[in-house]
Amino acid sequence: MNTLTFKAKQVRNDIPLKNNTPFKEGVTTVLAMFGIFAVIMTLDYYILGILFLIVAYSFLKRIFIYFRIKHPDWAKESDFRGSLLFREEKIGDIYTDDISSIVILFNKQRDKKLSYSHEPMYNGLLCFEILLKDGREKKYVILIEEEEQFNELGAVLKAYYKQKIKIEEKYTGDPEQGIERTFLFKKHYLYAEKQELKAELQMEKFPI
C-alpha cells in the first residue's frame, strides 16, 4: 500500500512571512542613475550620457533582484533547518491523531525572476500553525519553489481533511491579483466539481 508523502525545505520558524519589495532601494537607485546622467549631460557628453542610460537600464533588474533577496523574508542558506516530511499520519514528528487544528498561511511559489508588474517577488514561504489536542502549539515553515509542490502537498492535505482535522487556509499574497484565496478549494470550481470534492473529503459543505 502506497503512503502519500511530501518533503520540502524547512525554514526557521521566526522568519517574516509577509512579502517585501525593494521599493525604497529601487527609487534611490533610479534617482542616483538620473543624477549621474544629468551631470554627464551638463558636461556636454551627450553620447556618453546615452550610453550610460542604456547600460544602467540593462542592469536595473539585476539591481532590484539584489536588493529584493536581501530582505529578511527571503530565505537564505542560514535560514534553512533541513527538510520537513509530511505523511498521511504525521507532520514532522507530530502524529495527526494528536492534532486538533491547523492554520495554513501561504502565498505563491518562490519567484525566480523579477516581474515589472506591481506584484512582489514572492518568497514562497508556507506556514503550518498547529494546535495539539493537549493545548500545545507547533509551527512549521517550509519553502515552496515549484508550483507542482502545491499539488503534491495538496494530495497529503486531503488525507488530513479526511481525518476530520479542523483546517483553515489563509492566502497571504496580494488579494487584488485574482489568485485563489484557498490552497485546496478553488472558487472557480463548477457545482459538480465541488460536490465531488466534498464527497471525497467527506465534508458536509464546501468551505467557500
Task: Output the domain CATH number for residue 151.
Answer: 2.30.29
Tell me if 193 is assigned to some domain: no
Mean pLDDT of all residues in 7-13: 96
Q: Are residues 60 and 92 in the same domain?
A: no
CA-CA-CA-CA dihedral for 103, 137, 132, 207, to nearest 10: -10
Q: Are residues 10 and 106 in the same domain?
A: yes
Tell me if 35 is assigned to some domain: yes
Q: Are residues 80 and 176 in the same domain?
A: yes
Tell me if 188 is assigned to some domain: no
Q: Are residues 31 and 86 in the same domain?
A: no
Q: Are residues 90 and 114 in the same domain?
A: yes
Distance (Å, rounded) from C-alpha 157 to C-alpha 139? Answer: 16
Tell me if 160 is assigned to some domain: yes
- Cβ contact 172:193 at 8 Å: no
Where are the alpha helices (H) located in 43-179, listed in sequence order? 46-68, 147-162
Residue 2 reports pLDDT greater than 70: no
Tell me if 146 is assigned to some domain: yes
Q: Are residues 57 and 93 in the same domain?
A: no
Q: Which three cell numbers stand for residue 66?
A: 539584489
The larger pLDDT score, comparing residue 148 to residue 173, is at: 148
- Mean pLDDT, all residues of the chain: 82
Tell me if 197 is assigned to some domain: no
pLDDT computed for residue 48 by the predictor: 80
Q: Are residues 105 and 160 in the same domain?
A: yes
Mean pLDDT of all residues in 115-143: 86
For residue 80, give every residue at least 6 positions away whose Cβ sits within 8 Å of its Cβ, in sequence order, or none: 9, 10, 11, 12, 143
| pTM for the predicted model, two decimal places | 0.76
- For 69-92, what is each residue's pLDDT tens digit? 888 999 999 999 999 999 999 999
Q: Are residues 177 and 89 in the same domain?
A: yes
Tell me if 123 is assigned to some domain: yes
Q: What's the total number of domains in the chain?
A: 2
- Going across the sheet that includes 166-171, the strands are 94-95, 90-91, 80-87, 5-11, 137-143, 125-132, 99-106, 166-171
- For 33-78, what is each residue's pLDDT tens digit? 778 878 888 877 878 878 877 777 777 777 778 888 888 999 999 9
Q: Are residues 179 and 86 in the same domain?
A: yes
- pLDDT band for 26, please (50, 70, 90 cuts): low
Q: Are residues 31 and 99 in the same domain?
A: no
pLDDT computed for residue 178 by the predictor: 46
Q: Are residues 50 and 111 in the same domain?
A: no
- pLDDT band for 148, please (50, 70, 90 cuts): confident
- pLDDT band for 168, please (50, 70, 90 cuts): confident
- For 158-167, what is each residue's pLDDT tens digit? 999 999 999 8
Query: What's the domain range around 54?
Result: 23-68
- pLDDT band for 187, please (50, 70, 90 cuts): low
Q: Are residues 58 and 142 in the same domain?
A: no
The closest alpha carbon to 5, from 80, 81, 84, belongs to 84
